[in-house]
Structure 1
Amino acid sequence: MKWLELLEVAGATLVAAVVLVVLYALGVRLTAIAGDPERKSPVAVRSLAYVCFGACGVAVLAGIYLIVPYFNK
């Protein structure tokens, strides 16, 4: 077994999971901040939240593309 490659995959998985969780949590937090009536520009904050959700979705689709063998022919 190639242990270095196993550690590389485990590290990449850990980094990807952390990035996805942080992006989603940031999107949720920005959505909550945009709902605050005292904010001066809730549209900008809400659009930034949607960018975070979109980046999270793109990362998930990229992971599916890498996992499913049909797409890698």
Structure 2
Amino acid sequence: MKWLDLVQVAGATLVAALVLVVLYSLGVRLTAIAGDARRKSPAMVRSVAYLCFAACGIAVLFGIYLIVPYFTK
């Protein structure tokens, strides 16, 4: 068995999961901050939150693209 390959896959999985969790939580937090009535520019904060959600969705779709063999033919 190639142990280095196993470690690389485990590391990539850990990094990808961490990036997805951080992007999603940052999007949720920024959405909550944008809902605060005292903010001066809630539209900018909300747009950054939506960018975080979009990046999270793109990362998920890329992961599905890598996993499903039909797409990589």
**Cα distance in 1 for residues equivalent to 2:56 and 2:71:** 20
**Cα distance in 2 for residues equivalent to 1:40 and 1:20:** 29
Unaligned runs of 5+ in 1: none
How many positions carry a matched residue from both structures?
A: 73
* TM-score using structure 2 length: 1.00
Unaligned runs of 5+ in 2: none
**Cα distance in 2 for residues equivalent to 1:56 and 1:5:** 26
* TM-score using structure 1 length: 1.00
Other-structure match for 1:25: 25
Other-structure match for 2:65: 65
Higher helix share: 1
The runs of 4+ residues in structure 1 deviating greater than 2 Å are none
Q: Match of 2:37, SS? A: coil
* Amino acid across the alignment from 2:53: F
Alpha-carbon deviation of 1:63? 0.1
Aligned-residue sequence identity (percent) comes to: 79
**Cα distance in 1 for residues equivalent to 2:72 and 2:47:** 33
User: For 1:1-73, what aligned pairs fall within 5 Å after superposition?
Assistant: 1-73=1-73
